């Protein structure tokens, strides 16, 4: 069987993780890549031996007519790119955050169903070994009924103005901000343990608004997108959760905890080690079963290994009609939470979360 021909839209994360992940999977072949900078796009294509490269993504899709399109661009482009790829007959893997708002995300989901194509969301964090094992243990009752989830994250992204120049990630109108960049992943994490949240009380902040100048971006700018966020969720009869993120810290550190009636499960940033903590006992490191382990190569980007696990599922969904998870029901649900968080922060009040229902096919 011939490999599925892929076009990657995006030359940053799209090149280092998406294109490389597809290259390592025998069921895919990267046929084209698009970027906004012609020279960089050409260099990426040559280095990865990708036959087609273009700065016009529509022209590239029309020329290659790929089986699969990976959308790895600023958020404001996800909606038009995904719809165009679906209309062209391609299956789509879209980066998170899904879109500018939940109504765009719902339209993407509904259109994929109408044309009979697989539409996946890249929540590759789901495939980290510690998180998978923690979810299995919770479902097995290893910590009693889960009652609270806590995710804390510190990231050296915008520590100082010269840490990073002004770009779309600091622009609220284009879908930038740490809420979407990492809060989307962490929201997806909590909902897998507790179900859909009913409401959220949120605080979104711009703690360090100056961006640049840097050698690559010689002009300075002022951020409008959040670099700090605190979310407090209430779940339907199943406890509560908190996410607290700060992207102006001078270091990177993450901690994930699921508290149950009898014990807590904890994993840290790398998500390859898992601990169980019971009252009046020392933390016990739990073995990760062989079937869940990932084997990243030395020098690989941290997300390449879990992305490869997601691609295996994506390929099976296309070729074998296997269930795709995470899918666009997940994408719409997470986007709905992000929308409610923004409304909550603006109103300084707890907000119910509204989930758009699918349009009948």
pLDDT at 181: 98
93: phi then psi, degrees, rounded to nearest 5? -115, 120
Q: What are phi and psi for residue 188, nearest 5 degrees?
A: -60, -40
* Phi-psi category of residue 278: left, alpha or beta, with phi > 0 → left and psi -120 to 50 → alpha: beta
Q: What CA–CA distance (Å, rounded) separates 211 from 159? A: 10
Name which of 52, 45, 48 is nearest 5 in CA terms.
52
Could you read off the pLDDT of 307-328 as tens digits, one per residue? 999 999 999 999 999 999 999 9
**What is the per-residue pLDDT for 107?**
98
Strands 4-9 and 68-71: parallel
Angle, alpha carbons 170-55-3 (nearest 5°): 105
Q: Which part of the chain is CATH 3.30.360.10?
A: 127-293+334-345
Mind listing the pLDDT tens digit for each residue in 63-92? 999 999 999 999 999 999 999 999 999 999
- For 319, the token pair is 């070729």
The gap from C-alpha 304 to its chain's centroid, in whole angstroms, comes to: 13
Where in the sequence of the chain do the CATH 3.40.50.720 domains occur?
Answer: 4-124+310-326
How far is the C-alpha of 152 from the C-alpha of 243, rounded, in Å? 6
Q: Determine whether domain 4-124+310-326 maps to CATH 3.40.50.720.
A: yes
Gyration radius (Cα) of the chain, Å = 20
127-293+334-345 CATH: 3.30.360.10
Give the residue carrying structure tokens 């994506």. Answer: 314
| Helices and strands (H, E) in the chain, number of each type | 11, 17
What's the pLDDT score for residue 238?
Answer: 79
Mutual angle of helices 102-115 and 328-347, in 10-degree steps: 170
Give the Cα separation of 231 and 202 in Å (integer): 5
Question: Are 34 and 14 spatial neighbours (Cβ–Cβ below 8 Å)?
Answer: no
Q: What pLDDT was estimated at residue 361?
A: 65
Q: How far apart are CA 259 and CA 239, in angstroms?
A: 10
Q: Look up tokens 């343990």; give the residue.
A: 193
Sites in the chain below the pLDDT cut of 70: 361
């Amino acid at each position: 069987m011939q490999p599925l021909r892929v076009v990657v839209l995006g030359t940053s994360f799209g090149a280092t993780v998406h294109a490389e992940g597809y290259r390592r999977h025998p069921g895919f072949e990267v046929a084209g890549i698009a970027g906004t900078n012609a020279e960089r796009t050409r260099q990426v294509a040559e280095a990865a031996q990708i036959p087609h490269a273009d700065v016009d993504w529509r022209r590239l899709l029309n020329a290659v007519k790929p089986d699969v399109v990976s959308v790895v661009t600023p958020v404001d482009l996800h909606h038009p790119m995904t719809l165009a790829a679906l209309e062209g007959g391609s299956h789509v893997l879209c980066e998170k955050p899904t879109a500018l708002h939940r109504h765009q995300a719902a339209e993407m989901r509904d259109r994929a169903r109408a044309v009979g194509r697989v539409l996946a969301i890249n929540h590759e964090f789901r495939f980290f070994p510690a998180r998978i094992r923690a979810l299995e243990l919770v479902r097995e009752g290893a910590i009693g009924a889960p009652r609270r989830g806590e995710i804390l994250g510190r990231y050296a992204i915008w520590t100082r103005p010269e840490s990073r120049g002004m770009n779309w990630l600091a622009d609220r109108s284009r879908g930038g901000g740490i809420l979407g960049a990492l809060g989307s992943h962490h929201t997806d994490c909590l909902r897998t343990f507790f179900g859909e949240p009913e409401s959220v009380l949120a605080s979104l902040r711009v703690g360090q608004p100056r961006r640049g100048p840097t050698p690559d971006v010689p002009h300075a700018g002022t951020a409008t997108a959040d670099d700090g966020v605190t979310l407090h969720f209430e779940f339907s009869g199943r406890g509560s959760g908190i996410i607290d993120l700060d992207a102006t810290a001078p270091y990177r550190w993450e901690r994930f905890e699921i508290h149950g009636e009898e014990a807590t499960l904890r994993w840290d940033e790398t998500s390859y080690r898992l601990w169980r903590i019971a009252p009046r006992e020392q933390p016990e490191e739990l073995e990760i079963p062989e079937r869940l382990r990932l084997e990243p190569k030395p020098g690989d980007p941290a997300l390449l290994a879990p992305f490869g696990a997601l691609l295996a599922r994506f390929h099976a969904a296309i070729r074998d009609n296997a269930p795709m998870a995470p899918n666009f029901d997940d994408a719409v649900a997470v986007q709905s939470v992000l929308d409610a968080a923004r409304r909550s922060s603006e109103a300084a009040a707890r907000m119910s979360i509204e989930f758009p229902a699918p349009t009948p096919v």
